[in-house]
Structure 1
Amino acid sequence: MTSTLPETFAPRAAVPEPDLTPDEIVARAEELAAGLPARQAETERRGHYAEDTHEAFTRAGFYRILVPRRYGGYEFGPATFMKVATTLARGCPSTGWMYLFGAAHALVAATLFDERTQAELFAGGDFVCPATVAPAGSATRAEDGSWLLDGVWNYCSGAPYATHFIGHTLVFDDPDGPPAPMLFIAERSQFERLDDWGDQLGLKGSGSHSIRIEGARIPAHRTLPGHLSQIPVTGELPGRTLHGPEYGGGPLSFMLLELGALAVGMAQGALDAYEELMRTRTTTFFPIVPRTEDPDFQFRFGEATGMIATADAAMTEAVRQWEQLCLKDAAAFTREEELRLATISREVVRLCWRAVEGQLFPTAGSSSVRAGERVERVWRDLSMLHSHAGNGVFLASHAGRELARAHFGTGQ
């Protein structure tokens, strides 16, 4: 993903492992993911993955995958990032979810904010920045142009180890007009993580706590007018100028593709568990044979395998298309293209759910879907994914209509 840039834009911070490759960082994810299933119960009890897991992710370079190289990151790009997140979600859905939604927004910051702001945000190298899309709280403009912010923002996945937070609020810049959305980034010292996560149906260990901000002063250059899902990217964004075209893609489609990447990992984890059951258990009805020899179990396994493999292939291709669009002229990344890519993620989630809910969960056996069993946990976690506003509301209804309107150039 690294681009050849003018000398004035050469990296300013040392990269911890300058010769590290995308394949090597994915291999590290596979090694770490192998130990995650055994820790799923404790992760759920805690509400987030453990400190030693966080430290292992830090050493592995996971929090620098999308950080530009000029700020000490690896700049490996979306394909590598999504592969790492999918791999971690295969081992533990909560861990994969918390990691992805904490580390993903380095791409947003490096795409949308100017050079001064990026230098401040990425000064630490590692970047963990949960983001929410629902506006909350209140903001008052100070005399120096900064904003005084107060409020509580819910569902901030990645909050336990966050270095920053991206949120939205409504501002009343025009006294005669309606409130307008404003995006902001707050530093860790400016917010408090609330202890309010873990009682949900699924993703209990995803670290999706609320964040409270009281009287924080947010400099004007750390804010952007508008909403993250509506910001057009058909012009020359700061990221394109600073780092190359790979940092000129659409935030909306990238955020929604993340849901598909996680769904694939979760479904792969369920298939892993189902395979273990097939290898170790027999049929319930005569003839009593190993499940691996039973035509019905063979059918279920084969059906689920095909669905999950198709979902994985669709995700891989969608991310490739996202990256290829970036390499074209900025005008190529239209709203229609963003929505088309987003609908691919929608179908990926549907395929994964059909595989788990329709094939694996019903035939795993009652003892295998008791609370805390791996198949049961994935079923809960995938169910919870459907409650995410991006999937359950936007992709389920808004995206299709908006795609058609963008294609035909019609209004509401």
Structure 2
Amino acid sequence: MAHEVVRRIEEVSALLAATAPETEGLGRLSDKSVELIREAGVMRLLQPRDFGGYAAHPADFAEAVMAVARNCGSTGWVCGVGGVHPWEMALMDRRLQAEVWGDDPDTWIASPYAPQGIATPVDGGYVLKGRWNFSSGTDHCDWIFLGALVAGPDGTPQQPLKGLHVVLPRSDYTIVPDSWDVIGLCGTGSKDIVVDGAFVPDYRTIDSAEVAEGEKAAERAGRSDTVYRLPFWAMFPLGITAAVIGIAEGALAAHLDYQRERVTAMGTKIKDDPYVLSAIGEAAAEIGASRTQLLDGISRLYDKADGGQPITFEDRAVVRRNQTRCAWRAVAAVDEIFARSGGNAVRRHNVMQRFWRDAHVGLQHAIHTPGSIYHTAALTSMGIEPEGGLRALI
């Protein structure tokens, strides 16, 4: 049975699709798109119940993101990225959770997590400086997660490196205008963020390595719901890849609508062309396989955590391998059907070209970089323990 949030999204799918051109033109989510997402409750799926959320199964979250992205890729992307932030916020100090959600459980939180800033220890916390790229949906958020490296005595990152996720209110950072000028996912408004010496109290920080493991952070935060015991590098990629697969599903639906009555310049009806129909069937199977494998991976981890079993590094590596492959398989399928859509598919009024652009830009995210992930998963499958950089992002 579909989660109630997924059903709400499906009920307003036509409205969401209608907002997509405005969202792309604005370079951020349209006001109507934000309203629809808030009313459906997508951003609260992974939020803890004591602060107005659902603490839902992560597969339900992925389903909701795909349902949004099928209609508007940019809105789906913001839901996929921003929708994970309440999950991590649940692992933070309760004082911070009350600050963020105490007055409004629909408060949104931005990121990025890349450690592009330096956090210098001071009495009671840190002083943060840096500039970060790719803060998706940031115009609509009142708080932000940022990745940072802890500084040593000389002001450079301490050795060995120690990473933090720090949380700041909107008053402590600057959104750089006009810093998101791209060819796809234009409406995500993934702008740059600048912080110049903001003080971050200790309780608004968390060790990024602890979050990566999952279990320890949940225990420290007193969170018993299974979803909060999952590792970060399973949860964060889930939302992003779900958006890409949803975009691929949207491209397939648009392609089918376009091809149904299409006649080529040579007078051939597409519905009578066995070669195009074969390509459509194969692409649909590949996109469907991507969806199934993504949901299966996170469900397997959830079931292990729910059963009290440890999630091993090999488990994490295999799920990351499959999640990465899901994205590449789905986008390759979009390429196959787009190549058979004829020259009119590239016209701005044809939604096919927007889905095609959004899919490729979504594939550019770091979590979809396959080389080291495949390498590491192969080693773990051989019983060999990967070391150093091969363990990154897993």
TM-score between both structures, scaled by the size of structure 2: 0.89
- Measured after TM superposition, the shift of residue 256 of structure 1 is 1.7
1:335-378 Cα shifts (integer Å, max 9, x gaps): 22112111111121122112111x21111010112245211112
Please list, as runs of the form range in 1=range in 2, the aligned pairs for 1:277-288 lying within 5 A after superposition.
Answer: 277-285=258-266, 288=267
Q: Partners of 1:236 and 1:61 in 2: how far apart?
A: 25
- Measured after TM superposition, the shift of residue 201 of structure 1 is 2.0
- Measured after TM superposition, the shift of residue 239 of structure 1 is 7.0
Is the contact between residue 267 and residue 378 of structure 1 (CA under 8 Å) also seen in structure 2? yes
Q: Partners of 1:114 and 1:366 in 2: how far apart?
A: 55
Is the contact between residue 79 and residue 239 of structure 2 (CA under 8 Å) also seen in structure 1? no
Q: Partners of 1:391 and 1:369 in 2: how far apart?
A: 26
Q: Out of 369, 372, 389, which is 1:398 matched to?
A: 372
Q: Partners of 1:262 and 1:82 in 2: how far apart?
A: 8
Match of 1:196, SS state, is coil
Aligned residue in 2 for 1:267: 248
Q: Partners of 2:145 and 2:269 in 1: how far apart?
A: 51
- Residues 1:61 and 1:155: Cα distance change in structure 2 (over 3 Å): same
1:61-107 Cα shifts (integer Å, max 9, x gaps): 22211111111212223122111110111101111101221222111
1:369-388 Cα shifts (integer Å, max 9, x gaps): 22452111122111112221
Q: Partners of 1:33 and 1:192 in 2: how far apart?
A: 33
- Residues 1:328 and 1:39: Cα distance change in structure 2 (over 3 Å): same
Aligned residue in 2 for 1:257: 238
Indicate the percent of aligned positions where both proteins have the same amino acid. Answer: 27
Q: Partners of 1:405 and 1:301 in 2: how far apart?
A: 36
Match of 1:199, SS state, is coil
Q: Out of 223, 239, 245, which is 1:242 matched to?
A: 223
Aligned residue in 1 for 2:392: none
Match of 2:166, SS state, is strand
- Residues 1:213 and 1:227: Cα distance change in structure 2 (over 3 Å): farther
Q: Partners of 1:235 and 1:137 in 2: how far apart?
A: 25
Is the contact between residue 318 and residue 344 of structure 1 (CA under 8 Å) also seen in structure 2? yes
Match of 2:260, SS state, is helix
1:199-233 Cα shifts (integer Å, max 9, x gaps): 212111112111222332211011123457x7323
Aligned residue in 1 for 2:146: 167
Q: Partners of 2:136 and 2:199 in 1: how far apart?
A: 23
> Which amino acid letter does the alignment assign opposite residue 147 of structure 2?
H
> Which amino acid letter does the alignment assign opposite residue 171 of structure 2?
S
- Measured after TM superposition, the shift of residue 234 of structure 1 is 4.5
> Which amino acid letter does the alignment assign opposite residue 170 of structure 2?
R
Match of 2:23, SS state, is helix
Is the contact between residue 263 and residue 348 of structure 1 (CA under 8 Å) also seen in structure 2? no
1:353 aligns with 2:331: yes
- Residues 1:316 and 1:179: Cα distance change in structure 2 (over 3 Å): closer
Please list, as runs of the form range in 1=range in 2, the aligned pairs for 1:177-196 lying within 5 A after superposition.
Answer: 177=159, 179-196=161-178
1:153-173 Cα shifts (integer Å, max 9, x gaps): 110112111132111112224
Please list, as runs of the form range in 1=range in 2, the aligned pairs for 1:6-85 lying within 5 A after superposition.
Answer: 23-85=3-65
1:213 aligns with 2:195: yes
Aligned residue in 2 for 1:13: none
TM-score between both structures, scaled by the size of structure 1: 0.85
Q: Partners of 2:115 and 2:152 in 1: how far apart?
A: 16
> Which amino acid letter does the alignment assign opposite residue 391 of structure 1?
H
> Aligned residues, how many?
382
Q: Partners of 1:373 and 1:341 in 2: how far apart?
A: 35
In structure 1, stretches of 5+ residues that fail to align are 1-20
- Measured after TM superposition, the shift of residue 280 of structure 1 is 2.5
Match of 1:214, SS state, is strand
1:337 aligns with 2:315: yes
Match of 1:224, SS state, is strand
Alignment RMSD (CA, Å): 2.3
Match of 1:348, SS state, is helix
Aligned residue in 2 for 1:133: 113
Q: Partners of 2:110 and 2:313 in 1: how far apart?
A: 24
